[in-house]
Amino acid sequence: MSSLFGLDQSSRLVFVSEVSRGLACQCRCVVCEEPLVVRQGLVREHHFAHASGREPCDVSHESLLHRYAKQVIQDAGGLTVPLDDQVVAVLGMTPALAPAARLPLPKVELEKSLGAVRPDLLGHTDLGVTVAIEVAYSSFCDMVKVDAFAGLGLPVLEIDLSAFTPEAFSPLAVRDAVLDAVSGKAWLWPKAAGLPAEQPSVQALAPEPLGDLPKARLPEEVVTISGRRVAIKQFQSGDIAVKVIGYDPDVVSLVKSIAKANFAHYSPKWKSWNVPRWRAHIVRTALRAKAETVSIHLQDRNRS
C-alpha cells in the first residue's frame, strides 16, 4: 500500500513532496487512475488520498521504486556506472582509466522478460548493447539469477535503493543514488574479482598497485585494531568473511557490532562473521577506519 506516489497530468510518477496541495496537482492514482488530493493529517506527513474518499489502492513500494528509477534514468538519458576492464569490454566502451563513467541509455524498459529472466529494468545503450538493471530493495539479486544473466551474456548492474523506504524516500536523494552515485552500484556480471575501486588509503599501503592484481585471485586483507589482527576474506560471490585472529574482548565486540549492523551472520564453525556482498564495502571501510595498519595479501587460488 502506498499513498505517497501519484501520476501527474503527463502520466509521470510523482512523489507527494513534488506536488502542491489539494486538487491543484491534478494527480491520479497509480492503480485506478482516480483523481487524488494531497492531505496532511495530524499524525501523518503529506500523503495522497482518493478525492472520492475511497480507501487507498494496493501497490508495492518496490514496484514503484522500479518505476521511479526507470523514469529518472530515462529523463537523464543514462546513468553513471562503475567500470573495470571486463565491463568496458562487454559494453563495447572505449577503455578508460576512470573507475566510473556515464553510460548512455537512450531506451529503458520496465520489468521486461528476456528468456528465463525478468530484470527490473532493461536498458539499451547508444552502442546497441542491452543491459539489465536490478533495483535492490527488499532483496538482492541471488546467484541463481546472476547465473541466468551470465548465461544470456547480459551485463547486469545492481543499484542499492534499500535505504529508500516509504518513510525515507527523497526524490533528490533517489535521483543521486540512481544517476550519479557509484558507491551503491555493482556489476553482478561480468564481475571482476578483487576489491571495490575506491581505496586510496590502502593503495598507498599495498606492496603493489591493486590494479595489477591478477583477476582470478582474491586479496585477503588484514587490519590491525588495538594490536589484534582482523582478517577480511572475500569470496567469489562478493560476500566477505571477517574473523578476529586471537582473542580480545574489545576487538571481538567491536567487530561484532559492525558486523551485526550490516546484516552479517556468525559462523560458529569458522568463528567468522559472514557479511553479504551489498554490505561488504561498508564493513571493510568501517574496519579500516578503526585500524592502525592495513595490509593486503594474495590468497592462494585453491583456497579462495
* Residues at the contact surface with Zn ion, assessed by CB under 5 A: 29, 31-32, 57
Q: How far is the CB of 45 from Zn ion (least distance, A)?
A: 19
CB of 141 to Zn ion, least distance (A): 31
**Would you say 59 or 210 has its CB closer to Zn ion?**
59
Q: Smallest distance from the beta carbon of 37 to Zn ion, in angstroms? A: 12
Least CB distance from residue 23 to Zn ion, whole Å? Answer: 15
Q: Which is nearer to Zn ion, 24 or 31 (CB)?
A: 31
The Cα–Cα gap between 159 and 138 comes to 12
Would you say 32 or 143 has its CB closer to Zn ion?
Answer: 32
Residue number of the CB atom closest to Zn ion: 29
CA 266 from chain centre, in angstroms, equals: 23
Residue closer to Zn ion (CB basis): 59 or 192: 59
Classify the C-alpha dihedral 272-276-279-282 as positive or negative.
Answer: positive
Minimum distance of Zn ion from residue 33's CB (angstroms): 7
CB of 57 vs Zn ion, minimal distance in Å: 3
CB nearer Zn ion, residue 57 or residue 179: 57
